[in-house]
């Protein structure tokens, strides 16, 4: 991974004094960023300073600028808001204020500034940098500083920007620190509102934050299945040709239609900056009055307010802020006077560092486009995911009349297999809705492949899937029953028939039922079992033509071990459970003093949950199956723990509770209990050890917003892929028929295809969604270990240790 790769050499470079500040509105994850900046700066031989209260601290100086030691940022990962404080500083907007800021920085020897905030904060930072030489000269000329004090600082100030903003409104980055936590808070509140609304058949109108950016509103609408959403970038109505500027008519028509279809509630989400086509703000009270008077709904307005900002950061924000904080220090060390100040962003799931002012400029262009009513441009300036998400929302929430021609409508089977994972139901709901909107027939196959072979198949209706987006587990029912590889096919030579499957099912029976119910395409939602099931069916195509249809696996497993994708559905939900549990356990460990917890997490033979869980919860280290556990490792870790606790004892420092994450299959000899026993014994009273096995807690619960958003996006892509594959299959077929080849068995399936490109795994790789044939993925699969051979997150294992002071000693003053 980028961030950790740059840590390969931890030698001190130029000793920089790096100030870090948080500015503008607070966002969850800012603390994790400060922690990472401080600790990596120390590791790299630099001196970190916390500048309290944002730019106000820089202007004020004195006690508001303080050196940061390793332990000062202890416990920061799990805290919401910003511990070092933030403020909106009017003084910093003036040149006199910035002169004071320069003075205070030079007095402290600070020559680099990492600013975590929104576009305003980053603009301020850039301004300070551009004025820097002039400011220093003025300080010398006016006698406030003597030349010797600041000669080396005179020419250049290093600035690096981190984007901390709940709105996710910054251009040139896919996501900002705090946006997903905010989405968590919003979804928690909306999920609660939904249950009371259900009980009373009420309508709720809810405003969510976002001055110029509808990201939070849109993602919330997708995640909770809102009936209508108002965004600044897409003023209503949807259908201007029919409704003109009269969006109230369109909204009322759509909402009453949803009620007629069986929905007991109506949920309308309004982005804070929502406007109509004439730029007039759309406000909750007005929408309520429309619903009350025109539809007679019992309507309530809820303002979530500042609840949206706060709370413990979600797993993703901890990860994002940490890897970006690491990169910020690296960017400081890389910077030269010639290079423009960088902003650390995230693109295609990789960390980026582009010119900060370019990003700010682009961000302002969105607001400008909106003010000029150029809504298309505003939408285009957002990243393409935003537009795709919007389209997916519209198609899956509003009944349309865009049925495909009869000849292109398909009967699409949807099946869950393997262990349950958060997001399976969301994906099924979206697939069903899309199918219905396009004229396909979505067929729910209940209880996996064994259910299929009992004929447990029925068509899904629009209202049947209401509420599924927030449901954990599997509404269709799932199990580990697995198709039995057919002898003589390539699947029979693979290591599929292992102990994981509860029973094997004859492929002939599966083929019979697919044929009986005339299933023309198959969507298999599940983890590694789903993947190997698809392999088995693909391999058996030469025997059973019923499998010669477009078949796709949508990876859904907490383990995130399916090849062909960086993330599977459910892995984020599980990660959040791990992080929440670990926070609690760590608190207990700290309170009990001198205690180390060995926390066992799931993941099969894949260490993803352990590594990401370890990074996001501030673990000391993570044991994973990919690396195994050796006696040497344990000895090293015992030594490390001894050194840490001994130091705390001699410095009379507060004892830190420590956690070590162990993946369940990391090693069969050094089990969780064995490790705990060894540690307790070797701790010799200096520290104690306990275990916690999180078990199936990790598979349950309400799916996280990120999993719901991913499920929505991937499910839409699956249906699009099935439609494309069908057309390709038909084209190929007519070509073959024209050439009247003998011996080709077509059956009477309209969607007949035996191409390997029509048996794929859908995956998120970077920001892209890719479809990889299972036959191609075989090369990237360790069948025996049930995981892919490529793991983008492996480099992060080292970062966990780096951030827990593993290879680091405090410098001698």
Which residues make up the interface to ligand ATP (CB under 6 A)? Answer: 23-25, 55, 88-89, 92-93, 117-121, 123-124, 127, 165
Q: Is 699 part of any known ligand binding site?
A: yes
End-to-end CA distance of the chain: 33
Structure tokens at 704: 């996280």
Which residue, 87 or 762, is less far from ligand ATP as judged by CB? 87
Which residue, 121 or 725, is less far from ligand ATP as judged by CB? 121
Residue with tokens 């058949």: 201
Q: Is 120 part of any known ligand binding site?
A: yes
Nearest distance from C-beta of residue 307 to ligand ATP, angstroms: 16
CA torsion angle 324 329 330 331 (round to 10): 80
The Cα–Cα gap between 485 and 537 comes to 8
167 in active site? yes
Which residue, 30 or 611, is less far from ligand ATP as judged by CB? 30
Which residue, 177 or 432, is less far from ligand ATP as judged by CB? 177
> Crossing angle for the helix pair 672-683 and 631-650, nearest 10 degrees?
40
Nearest distance from C-beta of residue 183 to ligand ATP, angstroms: 16
Judge whether 788 and 561 are in contact, CB under 8 Å: yes
Which residues, at least 6 apart from 247, have a Cβ–Cβ distance to it below 8 Å? 235, 236, 237, 276, 277
Structure tokens at 749: 């399936």
Which residue, 90 or 643, is less far from ligand ATP as judged by CB? 90
Nearest distance from C-beta of residue 87 to ligand ATP, angstroms: 7
Neighbours of 807 (CB within 10 A): 12
Nearest distance from C-beta of residue 712 to ligand ATP, angstroms: 26
Judge whether 112 and 126 are in contact, CB under 8 Å: no
Which helix (DSSP H) or strand (DSSP E) does residue 505 occupy? strand 504-505
Which residues, at least 6 apart from 286, have a Cβ–Cβ distance to it below 8 Å? none
Q: Is 15 part of any known ligand binding site?
A: no
Which residue, 359 or 722, is less far from ligand ATP as judged by CB? 359
Choosing from 26, 126, 167, 538, the catalytic residue is 167
Which residues, at least 6 apart from 261, have a Cβ–Cβ distance to it below 8 Å? 399, 462, 463
Which residue, 170 or 606, is less far from ligand ATP as judged by CB? 170
Which residue, 88 or 107, is less far from ligand ATP as judged by CB? 88
Task: Residue count of the chain, please give it.
Answer: 813
Burial of residue 765, with CB atoms counted within 10 A of its CB: 0-12 exposed, 13-18 middle, 19 or more buried: middle
Q: Is 604 part of any known ligand binding site?
A: yes
Nearest to 1 by CA among 798, 809, 811: 798
Nearest distance from C-beta of residue 22 to ligand ATP, angstroms: 10
Q: Is 114 part of any known ligand binding site?
A: no
Secondary structure letter of residue 306 according to DSSP: G
Q: Is 311 part of any known ligand binding site?
A: no
Q: Is 408 part of any known ligand binding site?
A: no
Q: Compute the Cα dihedral for 372, 377, 381, 386 and give only its sign.
A: positive
Q: Is 254 part of any known ligand binding site?
A: no
Q: Compute the Cα dihedral for 133, 139, 140, 145 and give only its sign.
A: negative
Which helix (DSSP H) or strand (DSSP E) does residue 645 occupy? helix 631-650
Nearest distance from C-beta of residue 76 to ligand ATP, angstroms: 20
Nearest distance from C-beta of residue 88 to ligand ATP, angstroms: 4
Q: Is 786 part of any known ligand binding site?
A: yes
Number of residue whose CB is nearest ligand ATP: 120
Q: Is 211 part of any known ligand binding site?
A: yes
Which residue, 116 or 443, is less far from ligand ATP as judged by CB? 116
The Cα angle at residue 422 between residues 272 and 796, in degrees rounded to 5: 90
For the sheet containing 299-303, what is the strand order?
Answer: 228-230, 266-271, 203-208, 299-303
Q: Is 480 part of any known ligand binding site?
A: yes
Neighbours of 211 (CB within 10 A): 13
Residue with tokens 């990074």: 615
Nearest distance from C-beta of residue 40 to ligand ATP, angstroms: 23
Nearest to 363 by CA among 201, 584, 213: 213
Nearest distance from C-beta of residue 803 to ligand ATP, angstroms: 26
Judge whether 168 and 123 are in contact, CB under 8 Å: no
The Cα–Cα gap between 3 and 1 comes to 6
Residue with tokens 């029979």: 492
Annotated binding site: 25, 88-89, 118-121, 165-167, 202, 209-211, 272, 300, 306-309, 480, 557-561, 595, 602-604, 664, 690, 696-699, 786
Which residues are the active-site residues? 167
Annotated binding site for Mg(2+): 119
Annotated binding site for ATP: 25, 88-89, 118-121
Annotated binding site for substrate: 165-167, 202, 209-211, 272, 300, 306-309
């Amino acid at each position: 991974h980028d961030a950790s790769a740059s840590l390969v050499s931890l030698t001190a470079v130029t000793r920089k004094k790096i100030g870090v500040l948080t500015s503008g509105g607070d966002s969850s994850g800012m603390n994790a960023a400060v922690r990472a900046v401080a600790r990596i700066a120390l590791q790299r031989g630099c001196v970190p300073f916390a500048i309290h209260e944002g730019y106000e601290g820089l202007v004020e100086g004195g006690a508001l600028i303080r050196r940061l030691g390793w332990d000062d940022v202890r416990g920061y990962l799990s805290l919401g808001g910003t511990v070092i404080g933030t403020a909106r500083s009017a003084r910093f907007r003036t040149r006199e204020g910035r002169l004071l800021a320069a003075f205070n920085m030079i007095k402290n020897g600070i020559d680099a500034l990492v600013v975590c905030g929104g576009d305003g904060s980053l603009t301020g930072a850039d301004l300070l940098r551009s004025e820097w030489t002039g400011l220093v000269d003025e300080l010398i000329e006016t006698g406030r500083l003597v030349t010797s004090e600041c000669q080396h600082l005179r020419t250049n100030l290093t600035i690096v920007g981190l984007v901390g903003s709940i709105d996710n409104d910054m251009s040139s980055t896919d996501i900002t620190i705090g946006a997903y936590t905010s989405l968590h808070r919003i979804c928690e509140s909306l999920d609660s509102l939904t249950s009371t609304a259900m009980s009373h058949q009420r309508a709720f109108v809810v405003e969510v934050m976002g001055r110029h950016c509808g990201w939070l509103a849109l993602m919330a609408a997708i995640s909770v299945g809102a009936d209508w959403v108002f965004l600044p970038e897409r003023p209503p109505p949807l259908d201007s040709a029919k409704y003109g500027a009269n969006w109230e008519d369109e909204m009322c028509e759509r909402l009453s239609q949803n009620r007629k279809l069986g929905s007991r509630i109506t949920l309308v989400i309004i982005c804070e900056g929502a406007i109509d086509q004439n730029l007039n703000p759309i406000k909750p009270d007005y929408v309520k009055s429309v619903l009350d008077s025109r539809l007679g709904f019992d309507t309530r307005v809820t303002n979530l307010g500042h609840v949206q900002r706060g709370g413990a950061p979600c797993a993703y924000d901890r990860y994002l802020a940490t890897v970006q904080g690491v990169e910020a220090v690296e960017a400081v060390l890389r910077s030269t006077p010639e290079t423009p100040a960088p902003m650390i962003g995230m693109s295609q799931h990789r960390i980026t560092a582009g010119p900060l002012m370019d990003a700010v400029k682009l961000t302002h262009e969105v607001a400008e486009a909106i003010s000029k009513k150029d809504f298309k441009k505003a939408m285009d300036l957002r990243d393409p995911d935003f537009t795709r998400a919007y389209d997916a929302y519209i198609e899956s929430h509003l009944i349309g009349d865009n049925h495909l021609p009869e000849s292109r409508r398909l009967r699409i089977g949807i099946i869950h297999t393997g262990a349950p994972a958060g997001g399976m139901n969301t994906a099924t709901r979206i697939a069903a809705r899309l199918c219905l909107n396009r004229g396909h027939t979505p067929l729910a196959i209940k209880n996996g492949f064994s259910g299929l072979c009992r004929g447990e198949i029925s068509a899904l209706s629009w209202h049947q899937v209401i509420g599924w987006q927030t449901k954990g587990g599997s509404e269709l029912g799932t199990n580990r029953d697995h198709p039995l590889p057919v002898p003589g096919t390539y699947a029979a030579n693979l290591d599929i028939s292992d102990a994981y499957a509860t029973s094997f099912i004859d492929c002939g029976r599966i083929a019979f039922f697919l044929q009986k119910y005339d299933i023309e395409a198959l969507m298999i939602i599940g983890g590694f079992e789903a993947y190997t099931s698809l392999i088995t069916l693909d391999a058996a195509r030469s025997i059973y033509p019923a499998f010669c249809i477009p078949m796709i696996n949508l990876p859904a497993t907490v383990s995130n071990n399916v090849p062909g994708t960086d993330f599977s559905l459910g892995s984020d939900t599980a990660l959040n459970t791990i992080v929440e549990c670990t926070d609690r356990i760590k608190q207990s460990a700290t309170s009990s003093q001198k205690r180390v917890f060995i926390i066992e997490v799931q993941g099969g033979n894949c260490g993803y949950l352990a590594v990401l869980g370890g990074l996001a919860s501030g673990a000391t280290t993570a044991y994973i199956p990919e690396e195994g556990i050796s006696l040497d490792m344990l000895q090293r870790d015992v030594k490390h723990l001894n050194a840490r606790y001994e130091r705390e004892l001699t410095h009379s420092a507060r004892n830190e509770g420590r956690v070590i994450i162990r993946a369940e299959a990391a090693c069969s000899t050094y089990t969780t209990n064995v490790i705990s026993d060894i540690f307790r014994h070797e701790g010799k009273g200096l520290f104690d050890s306990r275990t916690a096995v999180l078990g199936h807690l990790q598979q349950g619960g309400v799916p996280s917003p990120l999993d719901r958003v991913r499920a929505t996006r991937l499910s839409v892509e699956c249906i699009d892929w099935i439609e494309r594959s069908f057309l390709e299959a038909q084209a190929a077929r007519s070509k073959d028929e024209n050439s009247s080849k003998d011996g080709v068995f077509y059956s009477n399936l309209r969607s007949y295809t035996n191409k390997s490109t029509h048996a794929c795994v859908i995956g998120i790789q970077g920001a892209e969604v890719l479809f990889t044939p299972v036959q191609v993925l075989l090369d990237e699969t360790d069948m025996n270990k049930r995981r892919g051979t490529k793991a983008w997150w492996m480099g992060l294992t080292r970062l966990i240790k780096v951030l827990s002071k593993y290879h680091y000693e405090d410098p001698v003053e």
